[in-house]
Amino acid sequence: MKADNDLYRQLRELPAGQLWGVEVPKFNQATGKERARQVALVRAVGVVFTHCSDPALKIQVKAWLKGLLQDPEEKVRRYAMAAIPKLGEDVEAERNILTILKTSTVDREKRKAGAALEKIAGEETLKAVGAGAAGLPLSEQKVRANVARRESPATIRVDAILDRYDTLRISLRCRRGLEAVLADEVRASDTAGGKFRVLEVRGCHVVVAAKGPFSLRDLYQLRCFDTMGFGLGRVRDPEGPEAVAGLAKLIGSPLSERLMDSLTDGSWRYRLSFSGSENHDDDVAKVAAEAFKVNPRILNDAREAPWSVDVFLAPSAALAELRPKVSPDPRLTYRKAAINAASHPPLAACLARLAGRQPNEVVWDPFCGSGLELIETALLGGVKQVIGTDLNEKAIAIAKENWEAAGLEGVKSTFLTGDFRGYAEVPALVSGKLSLIISNPPLGRRVRVPNLHGLFADFFRVASATLRPGGRVIFVNPLRLESTDKTMRRDYRQEVDLGGYDCKVEMYVKC
Ligand SMILES: C[S@@+](CC[C@H](N)C(=O)[O-])C[C@H]1O[C@@H](n2cnc3c(N)ncnc32)[C@H](O)[C@@H]1O
């Protein structure tokens, strides 16, 4: 095995021309035993030719690999079965692999055949499933999903109008701690004639109803939520004997079908995920198999599915939501590039909302990274000027690019590379006009800081020195450190889950 791996690593580094022109002919002339010893070549060819841009050559390579399915050496056949899917589906290969599955007496060869079919199964496998072929490791649902994915790759229709809106419960998901901000955003838009109203505020989500026909694009006018899903219903006693059937019924329900029909371009496929389950894969397999019996038009498929069914488990009930995978996020068309430690965009939008609005805002993000907080603030309107600073030159270039893409005409922008402590060299920061500092500073996790405590102490000092009276600083605080400056009054504090760890979102006002 080690020898195979070592040889594979060497061969993989060879130019494609040498592999095909020299190594493959040598392999073809070798004896059976020698071929088995050199079998790593088959793997290397599969990998190297995966992205071959010469279609004629790719056909030849595939033909060679398909020929190896008849090789007398079991090991060679096995390696060929692993390599073939890398070059795409192929009816003849599929047929031959099905034959191997039927005729082989070697378990590991059968397993490899099953694994290859998982990737390339199509109409031939479907026929075999339909004919009740014994020993097929794939379910009918899986094969149907493979075929459907290939024939009609699916996307979500963001602009389709949902006419039957009145019974829909739409769940807007957010990070823990941000529910109130999100609910506030929905209420504000409702008051301003928006299309949704708040029904309920719960942990990590806000449930809203539509006031009339709407599209997903309408929902994505709201910026503070992370993902959205349609409530399918709940099942009591998730550990009980009826739970699997109950969830399957929700997934295959007329409501599910109606939503998928209205909002999918292509096949109706969903990925199933359980949050809070200890036997995730087991639960998925059981519920998906049962749901297929309830409604075989809706297919469970982990790959490139346009929908996700998210099951949220609690001791007393399991809640199922149908989530369209809206990608790219229509709210983030400005995001041309990102940095490693970029903010979670809905968090940036929440910070911007929490800051409120003052006339003629002059806004600074001292740690602007790719610029999300400044852009989200300016998108709310009423901003005269933004200043972004960051130590990292690349981040500043990205922030500029994103800012340009956001098309925020009429707002003056300045992006500068530098330490925030050098603020005195930036005229806009010492003009006495700065009304808002908004930032997701380095939290000492993704961006390492030698003295995080010192950085935050300096941050408080600089905020006090630069803000105009009545100005605010809103930021994420990872420390138990408060401003001791008497002219800075804390106005807001909320613990927020930043994706596995808690920090505080805080706002101080300069008196
Ligand atoms: C969490 S990231 C900011 C992410 C940003 N909000 C975004 O969405 O891309 C923190 C940023 O602080 C910058 N930084 C760290 N120390 C700094 C300092 N002393 N002065 C200015 N920027 C600093 C890092 O380069 C990094 O880009």
DSSP letters, 329-392, are -GGGTT-----TTPPPHHHHHHHHHHH---TTEEEEETT-TT-HHHHHHHHTS-EEEEEEEES-
Confidence of residue 371 (pLDDT cuts 50, 70, 90): very high
Closest C-alpha to ligand 1, atom 11: 367
Q: Are residues 198 and 78 in the same domain?
A: no
Q: Are residues 341 and 477 in the same domain?
A: yes
What percentage of the chain carries pLDDT values higher than 70? 100
Domain's final residue, options 138, 159, 182:
138
Q: How far is the CA of 410 from the centre of ligand 1 (A)?
A: 26
Cα–Cα distance for residue pair 173/222, rounded to 1 Å: 12
392 lines ligand 1 (CB under 6 A): yes
440 lines ligand 1 (CB under 6 A): yes
Q: Are residues 320 and 262 in the same domain?
A: yes
Q: How far is the CA of 392 from the centre of ligand 1 (A)?
A: 7
Q: Are residues 175 and 293 in the same domain?
A: yes
332 lines ligand 1 (CB under 6 A): no
Three-class SS of 152-168:
CCCEECCCCCECCCCCC
Please report whether residue 151 resides in a domain: no
Model confidence at 109: pLDDT above 80 = yes
Please report whether residue 164 resides in a domain: no
Q: Are 150 and 126 in contact (CB under 8 A)?
A: no
Q: Would you state the pLDDT for residue 445?
A: 87
- The residue whose CB lies within 8 Å of the most ligand 1 atoms, and thus the one to mutate among 373, 390, 421, 505, is 390
Closest C-alpha to ligand 1, atom 12: 367
Closest C-alpha to ligand 1, atom 5: 369
Q: Would you state the pLDDT for residue 88?
A: 86
Summary mean pLDDT of the chain = 95
**Coil vs helix vs strand at 415:** strand
Please report whether residue 210 resides in a domain: yes
Cα–Cα distance for residue pair 348/342, rounded to 1 Å: 10
Closest C-alpha to ligand 1, atom 26: 369
Closest C-alpha to ligand 1, atom 22: 390
Q: Would you state the pLDDT for residue 349?
A: 98
Q: Are residues 299 and 370 in the same domain?
A: no
Residues 162-195 have pLDDT tens digits of 999 999 999 999 999 999 999 999 999 999 999 9
Cα–Cα distance for residue pair 63/68, rounded to 1 Å: 9
372 lines ligand 1 (CB under 6 A): yes
367 lines ligand 1 (CB under 6 A): yes
Domain's final residue, options 120, 138, 156:
138
Please report whether residue 344 resides in a domain: yes
Please report whether residue 158 resides in a domain: no
Q: Would you state the pLDDT for residue 134?
A: 66
Residues 265-307 have pLDDT tens digits of 999 999 999 998 878 889 999 999 999 999 999 999 999 999 9
Cα–Cα distance for residue pair 30/45, rounded to 1 Å: 17
Q: Are 225 and 347 in contact (CB under 8 A)?
A: no
Q: Return the CATH number at 482.
A: 3.40.50.150
Written as six digits, the tokens of 461 are: 């000092």
Cα–Cα distance for residue pair 156/159, rounded to 1 Å: 9
Best mean pLDDT range from 73-82, 150-159, 442-451: 73-82
Please report whether residue 251 resides in a domain: yes
Structural domain for 264, as ranges = 170-324
Please report whether residue 388 resides in a domain: yes
- Ligand 1 atom, smallest distance to 389 CA: 21
Q: How far is the CA of 367 from the centre of ligand 1 (A)?
A: 4
Q: Are 186 and 208 in contact (CB under 8 A)?
A: yes
391 lines ligand 1 (CB under 6 A): yes
Q: Are residues 354 and 489 in the same domain?
A: yes
Q: Are residues 195 and 177 in the same domain?
A: yes
57 lines ligand 1 (CB under 6 A): no
Domain's final residue, options 273, 306, 324:
324
Cα–Cα distance for residue pair 92/396, rounded to 1 Å: 53
Number of neighbouring beta carbons within 10 Å of residue 499: 9
Q: Are residues 98 and 128 in the same domain?
A: yes
Q: Are residues 122 and 267 in the same domain?
A: no
Into how many domains does the chain fold?
Answer: 3
Q: How far is the CA of 373 from the centre of ligand 1 (A)?
A: 12
Q: How far is the CA of 221 from the centre of ligand 1 (A)?
A: 27
Cα–Cα distance for residue pair 97/77, rounded to 1 Å: 10
462 lines ligand 1 (CB under 6 A): no
Model confidence at 136: pLDDT above 80 = no
| Torsion region of 204: left, alpha or beta (phi above 0 gives left; psi -120 to 50 gives alpha) | left
Model confidence at 119: pLDDT above 90 = no
Cα–Cα distance for residue pair 267/262, rounded to 1 Å: 12
Model confidence at 378: pLDDT above 90 = yes
438 lines ligand 1 (CB under 6 A): no
Model confidence at 33: pLDDT above 80 = yes
104-120 mean pLDDT: 91
Q: How far is the CA of 461 from the centre of ligand 1 (A)?
A: 18
Please report whether residue 79 resides in a domain: yes
Smallest CA-to-CA distance from 265 within 315, 324, 212 is with: 324
Q: Are residues 129 and 246 in the same domain?
A: no
Q: Would you state the pLDDT for residue 118?
A: 86
289 lines ligand 1 (CB under 6 A): no
Q: Return the CATH number at 309.
A: 3.30.2130.30
160 lines ligand 1 (CB under 6 A): no
- The residue whose CB lies within 8 Å of the most ligand 1 atoms, and thus the one to mutate among 391, 396, 440, is 391
Residue with more model confidence, 120 or 189:
189
Q: Are residues 58 and 186 in the same domain?
A: no
Q: Are residues 125 and 210 in the same domain?
A: no
402 lines ligand 1 (CB under 6 A): no
Distances (CA, A) of 211 to 163, 215, 253: 11, 12, 23
